[in-house]
Chain A
Amino acid sequence: MRRITTIEFDGAGKRAIDNAKGRVVVTIVVFSLCFGVISARLIDLGLLSGMAQASTQGPADGGRTARADIIDRNGVLLATDLRTVSAYAKPSAIRHPEIAAARLASVLPGLSAADLEKKLRSSSSFVWVERKLTPAEHAAVIRLGIPGVDFRTEIERVYPHGNLAAHLIGYTNVDGVGKGGTERYFDARLKKDGAGGKPLQLAMDVRVQHVLRHEIQMAMEDFRALGGTGLIVDVNTGEIVAMASLPDFNPNEPGALIKKPAYMNRASHAVYEMGSTYKAFTMAMALEHNIADLEDGYDATNPIRVARFTINDDHPKARWLSMPEIFMYSSNIGSAKMALEAGGDLQQDFLRSLGQLDKPEVQLHEVGAPMTPTVWRDINTMTIAFGHGVAVSGLQLAAGFAAITNGGIKRPLTVLRADPAFPPGGTRVVSEATSRKMQALLRLVVEKGTGRKADAKGYLVGGKTGTAEKSGVGGYRRKALLSSFISVFPVTDPRYVVWVLMDEPKGNASTYGFSSGGWTAAPVVKRVIERAAPLLGVMPSDDETHPLVPAMLPLIQPELRS
């Protein structure tokens, strides 16, 4: 390096050099800034912006909210969001409407070529060819390659099983909002989890559901009934394994729901006066609170007259009846006297503990509240003893019935699959001893009483028939019956409650004109248990009866026949 010697200038010369220096500095700064900005922008464009572009995702699906799937207890799909493809055409772009219509009709079996041709010749700028194509139809239309025919995709809620469990699963409207059943009750959860989220698993088993629905449907046709309903409930977990309500509807066509009767869930929303099935509760109350034991009985010689009412027996024996006989022959008089001895207060407390007097908590939108008397007089106590004067839903009846037969524990019913590792808690409503006696009494009804037609061999069915007259204007209608059967199997170690109710069945030749619960509903329960028990993993048993039944037989008088 050379040593720089500072040269001093004076006067005008020094000023000129100072000026020049200043200009050079300014120029350097300005150019540096310019190049700096250009470099920064280059780096930005070259390295950063390009990246940002690559990370953009595909467009989101439509405007409708995505919902999580619903599956059954074995993982079978019950409801899902699918993109469905609809074909439309622009008539102005179609050159040969006749050929196009014929070709489209050849791959879309639901269409008539003539109608389609008319549409394609119309002057409108947009016509639907066919909505909701199946994947195979979609592919076939693409393969035709007709110019002017195009597709539009939409997200739809699809229920592959159609009518099968329409009331339980529910349905959604076109905006994807739950409008019934679990779809409505769990609307927020299904939306929050979205289409890819954790599916909602129900306790229902589609196979068992099919058995129940199918058998009720066939019985409805046989007996020309207005409707039918049924439930299968796990007595140890409260899980609703099947819930059928007929007539039903197809949730894939929510627009067709204007017909109200089909929309009504008869198992959960409708409340019925259950009739004689309620005697099981009266009997359990009497046994539990030591009102009467099995050896005791009541005189059923004469009908009871209270004010303007007369309480009569449908199968009058006109004598003193033991407790097992009262239950077996379904004596109204005996049950009424039993309840009267217990008193209205005890009856109310007992029925409340069984969940009969309050609206049950079940995860469905349609849950009916029971109808109970405003003033609980003695006449109410007596009629309620045999199931008239209180109207409850099938859910309530099944839950109460499960409690008195499963060893005495009342559990809330649930539509969701319960975790086997965490059995749901419950409250004790009757002792185990009472529950055992009830099991034997229910078995007796099926072995020797009004429920013989429900005896599914090998599955030890215990149950109680119920035949209630529907209330109409000015009293009860003798010919309009609600015939039902509630059962539990296997009765020695109950697993499932099966309840079936037929709305206004008409007797036919095979029932000798009878339309009561023992003739119409009991055979349905038998067939349901025979078909569903293997699916539910219940092993058939070699036992013929409940261990307590032999001890009861001496209490039953053999009928004298002429």
Chain B
Amino acid sequence: MRGVTVVTLIMLIAVSYGLYRLKYTVEAQRNHVTAIENQIETDKRAIKVLRAEWAYLTRPQRLEDLSKDFMTLEPLRAGQISNLEDIPERPAEILPEEDAADRTEVSEVAP
């Protein structure tokens, strides 16, 4: 009788310990999840701000002004657009061997 009681008591303590351990682990995991969720929320907000800022900084008017100030580009003209098919194949006889050798040298100098 006494033996049974002692075993039961030990088991009770073991189970309680296990249960509370489990509980605290779950709680810690849950806090971890909450922290991650908060981080995701913060990041999402930051992404929204950055997307808005990107849209603001890439306004066509701004890009046009910047291009005028810092680049020598001009608006595209229809004559500058062509199809790949419109470019003729290079005839083989136009490319002599010396010429080909020159080309390799150039490409070595300026990789």
Closest residue to A214 on the B side, CB-wise?
B61
> What are 19 A-B interface contacts by the 8 Å CB criterion?
A54-B27, A57-B37, A77-B51, A80-B52, A81-B48, A82-B48, A82-B49, A160-B53, A161-B55, A162-B59, A164-B59, A164-B60, A210-B60, A457-B79, A458-B78, A458-B81, A459-B78, A534-B81, A540-B81
Known contacts: A46-B23, A77-B55, A530-B77. The answer to whether A51 contacts B61 by CB under 8 A is no
Known contacts: A457-B78, A530-B77. The answer to whether A77 contacts B61 by CB under 8 A is no
Q: Contact at B78–A160, with CB atoms within 8 Å?
A: no
Q: Contact at A54–B75, with CB atoms within 8 Å?
A: no
- Measured between beta carbons, the chain A residues less than 8 angstroms from B51 are 77, 80
| Alpha-carbon gap, A459 to B81, bound state (A) | 12
Q: How far is the CB of B84 from chain A (nearest CB, A)?
A: 12
| Alpha-carbon gap, A193 to B3, bound state (A) | 66
Closest residue to A50 on the B side, CB-wise?
B27
B43, CB-defined interface residue at 8 Å = no
- Measured between beta carbons, the chain B residues less than 8 angstroms from A80 are 48, 51-52
Q: Contact at A530–B78, with CB atoms within 8 Å?
A: yes
Q: How far is the CB of A451 from chain B (nearest CB, A)?
A: 18
Contact pattern, B 25-55, Cβ under 8 Å of A = 1, otherwise 0? 0110011001001100100110011011111
- Measured between beta carbons, the chain B residues less than 8 angstroms from A76 are 55, 58
Closest residue to B44 on the A side, CB-wise?
A196
Known contacts: A51-B26, A54-B34, A530-B77. The answer to whether A82 contacts B60 by CB under 8 A is no
Contact pattern, A 195-235, Cβ under 8 Å of B = 1, otherwise 0? 01000000000110111001000000000000000000000
Q: How far is the CB of B45 from chain A (nearest CB, A)?
A: 7
- Measured between beta carbons, the chain A residues less than 8 angstroms from B48 are 80-82
Contact pattern, A 375-390, Cβ under 8 Å of B = 1, otherwise 0? 0000000000000000
A269, CB-defined interface residue at 8 Å = no
Could you say which of B44, B45, B56, B64 contacts A160, with CB atoms under 8 Å apart? B56
B7, CB-defined interface residue at 8 Å = no
Q: Contact at A160–B30, with CB atoms within 8 Å?
A: no
A531, CB-defined interface residue at 8 Å = yes
Known pairs A54-B30, A457-B78, A458-B78 / 20 extra A-B pairs, C-beta < 8 Å: A50-B23, A51-B30, A55-B30, A58-B41, A76-B58, A77-B52, A77-B55, A135-B53, A160-B59, A164-B59, A164-B61, A209-B60, A210-B61, A214-B64, A456-B78, A457-B77, A457-B79, A533-B78, A540-B78, A540-B81
- Measured between beta carbons, the chain A residues less than 8 angstroms from B27 are 50-51, 54
| Interface SS of B by simple majority | helix
| Max chain B C-beta neighbours (<10 A), residue from A81, A531, A534 | A534
A16, CB-defined interface residue at 8 Å = no
B19, CB-defined interface residue at 8 Å = yes
Interface of chain A residues 213 through 264 with chain B (CB within 8 A)? 214
- Measured between beta carbons, the chain B residues less than 8 angstroms from A54 are 27, 30-31, 34
- Measured between beta carbons, the chain A residues less than 8 angstroms from B23 are 46-47, 50
Closest residue to A78 on the B side, CB-wise?
B55
Closest residue to B54 on the A side, CB-wise?
A77
A129, CB-defined interface residue at 8 Å = no
Could you say which of A160, A458, A459 contacts B55, with CB atoms under 8 Å apart? A160
Using a CB–CB cutoff of 8 Å, the interface residues on chain B facing chain A are 19-20, 23, 26-27, 30-31, 34, 37-38, 41, 44-45, 48-49, 51-56, 58-61, 64, 75-79, 81, 83
- Measured between beta carbons, the chain B residues less than 8 angstroms from A78 are 55
A73, CB-defined interface residue at 8 Å = no
- Measured between beta carbons, the chain A residues less than 8 angstroms from B45 are 83
- Measured between beta carbons, the chain A residues less than 8 angstroms from B49 are 82, 135
| Alpha-carbon gap, A57 to B30, bound state (A) | 12
- Measured between beta carbons, the chain B residues less than 8 angstroms from A51 are 26-27, 30
| Max chain A C-beta neighbours (<10 A), residue from B52, B61, B64, B81 | B52
| Max chain A C-beta neighbours (<10 A), residue from B30, B48, B64 | B48
- Measured between beta carbons, the chain B residues less than 8 angstroms from A534 are 76, 81
Interface of chain A residues 506 through 562 with chain B (CB within 8 A)? 530-531, 533-534, 539-540
Closest residue to A61 on the B side, CB-wise?
B45
- Measured between beta carbons, the chain B residues less than 8 angstroms from A206 are 59-60
Q: How far is the CB of B104 from chain A (nearest CB, A)?
A: 36
A158, CB-defined interface residue at 8 Å = yes
- Measured between beta carbons, the chain B residues less than 8 angstroms from A530 are 75, 77-78
- Measured between beta carbons, the chain B residues less than 8 angstroms from A57 are 37
| Alpha-carbon gap, A539 to B48, bound state (A) | 36
| Alpha-carbon gap, A56 to B44, bound state (A) | 19
Known contacts: A135-B53, A539-B83. The answer to whether A58 contacts B78 by CB under 8 A is no
Known contacts: A46-B23, A50-B27, A164-B59. The answer to whether A531 contacts B52 by CB under 8 A is no
- Measured between beta carbons, the chain A residues less than 8 angstroms from B76 are 531, 534
Could you say which of A83, A135, A539 contacts B81, with CB atoms under 8 Å apart? A539
Q: How far is the CB of B47 from chain A (nearest CB, A)?
A: 11
- Measured between beta carbons, the chain A residues less than 8 angstroms from B58 are 76
Closest residue to B51 on the A side, CB-wise?
A77
- Measured between beta carbons, the chain B residues less than 8 angstroms from A135 are 49, 53
Q: Contact at A540–B79, with CB atoms within 8 Å?
A: yes
Q: Contact at A82–B77, with CB atoms within 8 Å?
A: no
| Alpha-carbon gap, A211 to B75, bound state (A) | 11
Closest residue to A81 on the B side, CB-wise?
B48
Q: How far is the CB of A371 from chain B (nearest CB, A)?
A: 35
Q: Contact at B20–A58, with CB atoms within 8 Å?
A: no
| Alpha-carbon gap, A54 to B54, bound state (A) | 37
- Measured between beta carbons, the chain A residues less than 8 angstroms from B77 are 457, 530
| Alpha-carbon gap, A60 to B79, bound state (A) | 57
| Alpha-carbon gap, A270 to B48, bound state (A) | 36
Q: How far is the CB of B19 from chain A (nearest CB, A)?
A: 7
- Measured between beta carbons, the chain B residues less than 8 angstroms from A82 are 48-49, 52
